């Protein structure tokens, strides 16, 4: 590298400088320096304050050109570059140069960002949210022995003495964004698995799950049991209740164990098919079963309670269920839940078939 720099020095001084910067960081990485040493060396090379910030931990390192911690308030960054790892932005590096940027500042920061990502990955665990799906599957699989599960958790960065909460999610939002929101400032790992996204976290703030996300939350401390519970809870989600905690289901969770053929053949569930062509009727029945009150259902639907009463009367005749009695209301509510579980089962089976078809259609040797 030095010989190449000497040969090019007479051709283009900028190229010579850029090569020397690259060689400088190659040497640092061979010495396996940590983040403070990397930042200190960068500040000395740039002859101004250099900084590194990691989003996942909130850690910030600012070092002056003398090698000491920068004590003065942070000046606006003259140049800044994101740190990326596994295609995810995990932080940023910057220079606080008082005057205009140096011609080599961009090269220096590019190399600093690459080196910082390598240091984070080496001394990690890596602070990216997205994880290797194979490791995540080892954690949540009921077929994994405890030693292998513990090792997978350790590789993902989770401490052995802390419980791991599991979420099963469906959303168009990126999984890393969802993970960062539900457990801010703590370790979160996520990966797509078949038809659903998996989020592993040490704690879950369900109120921070963004709108438009369907999420089931497991209650058990064991990751494999928590995953099964999260998948079950996800099946109970709806537009009206997009987030369901398994612990809140109680006896309703038993409905998920009913064989699909048994549910389909049930008289009340089959009767709901007669409402399928009228989504307004299904929405009205759902609101009425959820509230148990004509007036509260009317508030949810933004209708007059007399209009809801007429609809409920007609729906009751169609289903042959007296919806004005507690037993009739309970029957309709259970039928709605059973129908929702059947629909979720159909969606899951279709997604699995599509995934298998794509896998078979993929050319041999493709990634």
Q: Which residues of the chain have a pLDDT value below 50?
A: 1-9, 351-367
Residue 72, SS3 per DSSP: coil
Rounded Cα distance, 334 and 254, in Å: 11
- DSSP labels, 153-165: HHHHT--TTS--E
Does domain 2-123 sit in CATH 3.30.450? yes
Closest CA to 77 of 58, 92, 59, 55: 92
288, burial (CB in 10 Å: exposed 0-12, middle 13-18, buried 19+): buried
pLDDT at 279: 87
Are 48 and 88 contacting, i.e. CB atoms less than 8 angstroms apart?
Answer: no
The pLDDT, as a whole number, for residue 283 is: 92
Contact 186, 203 (CB under 8 A): yes
> Can you tell me the distance from the alpha carbon of 298 to that of 56, in angstroms, rounded to the nearest whole number?
45
Alpha helices in 47-188 (DSSP H): 105-123, 133-140, 146-156, 175-182
pLDDT value of residue 4: 40
Cα–Cα nearest to 286, from 270, 274, 300, 306:
300
Model pLDDT for residues 291-308, shown as the tens digit of each residue: 999 999 999 899 998 999
Residues 37-68: b if buried by 16+ CB within 10 A, e if exposed:
ebbbbbbebbebbbbbbbbbeeeebbbbbeee
Residue 95 belongs to what H/E stretch? strand 88-96
Indicate the CATH number of 260-350 among 1.10.10, 1.20.1250, 2.30.30, 3.40.140.
1.10.10
- pLDDT tens by residue, 203-219: 888 889 999 999 999 99
- The confidence score (pLDDT) of residue 182 equals 86
What pLDDT, on a 0 to 100 scale, did the predictor assign at position 344?
78
DSSP string, 248-292: GTGGGGGGGGS-HHHHHH-HHHHHHGGGTT-HHHHHHHHHHHHHS
| Phi, psi for 92 (deg, rounded to 5) | -155, 160
Q: How far is CA 16 from CA 19, 41, 100, 106, in A?
A: 5, 19, 21, 15
Domain boundaries, the chain: 2-123, 133-256, 260-350
Length of the chain: 367
Provide the pLDDT for residue 309.
Answer: 93
């Amino acid at each position: 590298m030095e010989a190449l720099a000497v040969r090019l020095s007479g051709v283009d001084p900028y190229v010579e400088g850029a090569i020397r910067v690259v060689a400088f960081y190659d040497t640092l990485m061979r010495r396996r320096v940590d983040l403070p040493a990397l930042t200190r060396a960068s500040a000395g090379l740039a002859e101004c304050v250099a900084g590194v910030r990691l989003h996942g931990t909130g850690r910030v390192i600012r070092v002056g050109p003398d090698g000491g911690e920068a004590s003065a308030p942070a000046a606006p960054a003259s140049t800044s570059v994101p740190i990326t790892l596994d295609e995810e932005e995990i932080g940023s590096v910057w220079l606080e140069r008082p005057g205009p940027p140096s011609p080599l500042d961009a090269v220096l920061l590019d190399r600093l960002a690459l080196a910082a990502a390598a240091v984070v990955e080496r001394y990690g665990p890596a602070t990216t949210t997205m994880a290797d799906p194979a490791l995540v599957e080892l954690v949540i699989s009921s077929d994994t022995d405890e030693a292998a599960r513990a090792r997978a958790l350790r590789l993902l960065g989770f401490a052995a003495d802390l419980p791991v909460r599991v979420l099963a999610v469906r959303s168009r939002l990126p999984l890393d964004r969802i993970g960062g929101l539900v457990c801010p400032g703590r370790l979160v790992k996520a990966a797509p698995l078949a038809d659903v996204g998996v989020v592993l976290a040490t704690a879950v703030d369900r109120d921070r799950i963004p709108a438009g996300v369907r999420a089931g939350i497991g209650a058990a401390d064991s990751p494999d049991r928590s995953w099964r519970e999260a998948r079950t809870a996800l099946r109970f989600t709806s537009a009206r209740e997009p987030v369901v905690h398994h612990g809140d289901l109680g006896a309703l969770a038993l409905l998920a164990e009913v064989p699909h053929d048994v549910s389909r053949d049930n008289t009340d569930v089959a009767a709901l098919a007669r409402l399928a062509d009228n989504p307004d009727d299904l929405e009205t029945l759902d609101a009425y079963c959820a509230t148990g009150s004509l007036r509260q259902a009317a508030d949810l639907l933004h209708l007059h309670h007399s209009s809801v009463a007429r609809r409920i009367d007609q729906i009751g005749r169609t289903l042959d269920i007296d919806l004005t009695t507690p037993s009739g209301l309970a029957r309709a509510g259970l039928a709605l839940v059973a129908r929702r579980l059947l629909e979720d089962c159909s969606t899951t089976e279709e997604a699995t078939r599509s995934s298998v078809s794509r896998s078979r259609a993929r050319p041999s040797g493709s990634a």
